[in-house]
Each structure stands twice: as C-alpha cells, then as structure tokens.
A = this chain, B = another copy of it.
Amino acid sequence: MPRGPKFRKVEGGVTATDGFSAAGVSCGIKTSEGALDLGLLLSDRPCVAAGVFTTIACPAAPVLWSRGLVEQGSGRAVVVNSGNANACTGEDGERDAAAMAIAAGQELGIEPDQVAVASTGVIGRPLPMDKVVVGVADAAEELSPAATAGDRFAEAILTTDTAPKTIAIRTVLDGKVVTVGGACKGAGMICPDMATMLAFLTTDAAISPRPLRRALRAAADASFNCITVDGDMSTNDTVLVLANGSAGNARITDGGEAYRHFVEALTFVCTHLAKMIVRDGEGATKFVEINVRNAASRDEARTAARAIANSPLVKCALHGEDPNWGRIICKAAGCGIRFKPGLAKLRIGGKLAFEGGTPADTPIAELEQAMQPAEIVIDLDLGLGKGAATVWTCDLSREYVAINADYHT
C-alpha cells in the first residue's frame, strides 16, 4: 500500500466520484442575466441516500419532499434551484416541489421518488415552474461526469456566496480506493443546525442506509453544526449524501473500523465545506475559531461557544481588531451556563487575556497583535468539568449590514 496522507485531495467536487454526472444551467429564476440557477446531479446506478435537514418549525416544501426520499433510504438524483426558496408557499409550494422531481424523473428516465429536491433564495414567492421545467430539460441534456460539470452544479446552487465551494478526496478503505466529493452553498443566515445552507455529497463507498444515516449525522454535527455567521436558521437547510457503492469495498453494515474510517472521511469533507462557508460569510474579513474547554458539560461548552460566536459585540470587536476580552467573558458568563470567573482562563491567539477573575499581565500591545491575523483562535477554559466544543465563525462588518439591509425581497 502506498504511503501518503489518509485523505488525499483530488480535483473536482460532486463529479469526482465515479458514476456521477452533474450540470448547472441558467433558466431565469435569478434576475441577473445568465446566472446559473438550476443544478442537476445523477448517479448512473441506484444509490443509498441519507440526509439531514433544518429543524425549523416551518420547513420549506423541498425539505418535506426530500425528507420522504431519505426515509426510504434510496435515491439517484438531485434537482436544486437557487433564486427562490419555495418556502412559506403552502400547498402550492409542495405541489411545485413534487413537480420538480417529476420533471427531473421524466428527463432522466427514473422514478420521481428517486429524485431529491432542494431550493434556496427568496422566501414566500411561488416558484416559476415554467422556467424550472425548461431548466431541468436543459440540465438533463448537459449532464456530464467532467469536473467542469461539477463546477457548474456548484455554481448553480449559490445565492449571496461570492465563490463556489467544492472538495473531493480519495482514501483507501478496506483495500479499495473510495472517493467522497461535495459541493455546498451558504453565506449569510448560517448557524448551527443547518441554517440556509445546502450541501450535496457523493461517494462510491458501499454502505447500508442505517450506517450512512448515522455517519452523515455525525459528520454534520462535527462540521456544519459548528459554524455560525449570524445565528439565524433557515427553512431550507439540507445536507444530502448519495452512495453508489461502485468502489467495491465490503458493504459497511455496522459500526466497525471501516465505518469509523468512512465517518472520518465524510467529516473531513464536511468540515472543509463548512469552513468555506464561514470564510465566505457575508462581509466577513476574519475566520474565527472559538474553543470552549473544561465546561461543566458538552452542552454548556457548545452553548457558550455559540453565544460568543453570535454576539454582535464580540463580532464587531473582532472586525475592529480590538482585544476586547471583556465582551467574550461577559457573553460566556451571561449565557446561562455554569461559570466561575476565578476559574476561567481566556486566550486570544495563544495570548493570555484573562485569568483568576482579573485581566492577565499580557501587555495590551501583544493582545492587539493577536487580533490582527485573518484567522484568530479564541480559547476559553472554564475550569469546571470536561465539556468541550468548537465553533467557527466570522466577524461582523459594515458590509454585512449593507448586504442584508440593501438586499430587497
């Protein structure tokens, strides 16, 4: 066996996996001329499918449709549009989501219940089905296993994102080369529990529905659920994986070593995609990792990390490169978790800022310097227990306000 990194990055995204074709076309859902707004993804054979979705109380119509598909555990295609979320659209919206799957199924010669549907964009507007149907036909014609086709798919799912987000890796599992490819979108309105983000993953690993579902849940929990841009959750969040089994590994059916290896691979891909979303956060100029350690519990660690990450005051301080550790301590102390100031220790970029209930001796100039890199790590040790959590976020800039105040529905 050749030596090398456990997960080797390769070119491409969803089409890096053998047996998958993709396309991205412009069908006029987005108002800007020629913008890609409809993507199609197809496997040349049946796949095991799994998904995780928004936990919001008003999921969009495509989420309801795709939930049904992953409950049955199989699927072969994904049709996705940007520019319109088909959310808060009632029964008409549900009919439209189904019509998208039916249109794609007809073009691809497969059953509609093998077609997952996703949408992202403006809420509360009827989907222009005439345009969608034309787009689906165009996309079906353009389907290709080329890397460029995967790129067009990745571009077609974007909204306020500034760049497509893709990755593909190869790893050796059970003596076979297994590929995991992915594409995602999401910029503003990103927070844990799948907030307005879409991610589509392809793999040739052979795996049964139940372990695939568990693996995706674990990978999403350690990646997409650890990011936050502005703490808002959306109606449409969807992470889907299709596994076509063509790698020829012994089918993963339980929680053994091969399963753990696969979870690791899926987590690697999802983490990469999740971090790309944060880096592309609306108006973001900083990538920030917040580690809370030694909290009274894991839940409390996560609560604190998210509270810090979502605080506008903390985010503004990060933007202004101001080592305002008081705002971080306040947020941790005020978010309802157990907190003892005398036991807490806060480091910014490795520099001690707060310890034993009082400011540390670190010269302010050193703390200021620690705020200057484009990537900043904040470590908060609560000194209480063994709970730990990491959250990735970005700063809050005037640009964020501009994007979200001036973007009209």
Contact = CB atoms under 8 A, between A and B. Distances in A.
Interface of A: 54-58, 85, 87-93, 122-125, 188-189, 195, 230-235, 310-313, 316-317, 319-320, 322-327, 329-331, 333-334, 337-342, 354, 356-359, 396-398, 400-409
A198 B15 CA distance: 59
Nearest to A367: B409
Contacts of A55: 334
12 contacts: A54-B334, A55-B334, A123-B327, A188-B313, A189-B313, A232-B311, A232-B327, A234-B330, A312-B404, A316-B403, A398-B398, A398-B402
Given A188-B313, A232-B312, A404-B316, A409 B322 contact: yes
A403 B408 CA distance: 25
Contact of A405 (B54, B322, B325): B322
A175 to B, nearest CB: 45
Contacts of A320: 404-408
A167 B88 CA distance: 44
B334 A124 contact: no
B123 A330 contact: yes
Contact of A122 (B57, B319, B326): B326
B402 A330 contact: no
A233 B339 CA distance: 14
A58 B333 contact: yes
A397 to B, nearest CB: 6
Contacts of A92: 358
Given A56-B334, A125-B359, A320-B406, 10 more contacts: A57-B339, A58-B341, A87-B326, A93-B358, A123-B329, A230-B312, A232-B311, A232-B330, A317-B405, A398-B401
Nearest to A359: B124
Contact of A232 (B90, B313, B401): B313
A407 B326 CA distance: 13
Contact of A333 (B56, B125, B331, B400): B56
A329 to B, nearest CB: 6
Contacts of A341: 57-58, 88
Contacts of A311: 230-232
B319 A405 contact: yes
B58 A325 contact: no
A357 B123 CA distance: 12
Contacts of A88: 326, 329, 341, 354, 357-359
A369 to B, nearest CB: 14
A257 to B, nearest CB: 38
A401 B319 contact: yes
Nearest to A353: B124
B357 A326 contact: no
A30 to B, nearest CB: 17
Nearest to A312: B230
Given A341-B57, A359-B88, A123 B326 contact: yes
A329 B88 CA distance: 9
Nearest to A409: B324
Nearest to A229: B312
A340 B405 contact: no
Contacts of A87: 326
A58 B330 contact: yes
B326 A358 contact: no
Given A231-B312, A325-B124, A331-B232, A401 B404 contact: no
A331 to B, nearest CB: 7
Nearest to A331: B232
| A-B residue pairs, 7 tightest by C-beta | A123-B326, A320-B405, A316-B404, A233-B334, A57-B339, A90-B358, A57-B333
